[in-house]
Amino acid sequence: MVCADSFDILNDVLFIGITQNYFFEKYYINKKSDALKVYMNEYSEMAEKKGVEAAAGELYKNNHIWITKLDEYGRICDVENYYIEVKLKNESQDNLRIPMYSFEGQFSSDVSSSLKVGDEVIIDTVNIADERIPYLIQTNATGVVNLNIANKLHGPHADNAYSHLVTGLSRGTITKTVFTERAEGISFPYRERFF
C-alpha cells in the first residue's frame, strides 16, 4: 500500500512539474516575443530619424538588444562604418566594397591595423548566384579570413553542400578603409558567429 501511495504522489509531482514547466516556458516565450516586437518598432522609428547604424547602436546601448537587417544570404546589410573598398585590376567591375564584420575572428588579426589604404591585396572569393563573396584577403605581410566560409569550402570538415560553388581570385589595391570606433564601451556587434 505504501508503494502505491508513493507512486501516486510521484505521478502528481511529475504532472505538476511538467505543467508548471510548460506554463513558464509559454509565458517566457510570449513575454520575450512581445518585448522583441516593441524593440523592433523602436528600432524602426529610430532608424528613420537617425539612420540604421545609430539606431542599432543606441538600442544595444540602452537595452542590450542588437537588431540589424540581413540580406538574402544572412549577411549584415547597410554596413557604413566597417568596410574596405578595393580598386580591382583587370576586372570589368572597377571597385569592390567589402563589409569587414565577417573577418573578425580568433585567427584574424585586428582588421583595422592589418589593412591600410594603398595595400596591394589578393582576395579569394566564392561565387554564389551572380555575387562574389570575399572570404580571404591577403596583403604581403598579413591577411584576414572569414573562417565560417573558409572552413565550409576547404576546412578539415568541409561541407559537401559547398563543393559545387566556384571560387575565384581577384587582385587590387585598397583605396578606402572605414572602421568603427570602439570607444563607447559597447561590445563590437559584428563578432556574432551566427552571422
Once rounded to an integer, what is the mean pLDDT over residues 56-68?
80
Q: Grid coordinates representing 179?
A: 572602421
Does residue 189 fall inside a structural domain?
no
Q: Identify the domain containing residue 101 by its residue range.
A: 83-179
**For the segment 138-167, what is each residue's pLDDT rounded down to a tens digit?**
888 888 888 888 888 888 888 888 888 888
Q: How many domains does the chain have?
A: 2
- Residue 88 and residue 57 share a domain: no
76 phi and psi, to 5 degrees?
A: -70, 130
Does residue 194 fall inside a structural domain?
no
- Residue 98 and residue 143 share a domain: yes
Does residue 93 fall inside a structural domain?
yes
- Residue 96 and residue 57 share a domain: no
Opening angle at CA 76, ends 72 and 78, nearest 5: 105
Specify the pLDDT at position 111.
64
- Give the global pTM: 0.62
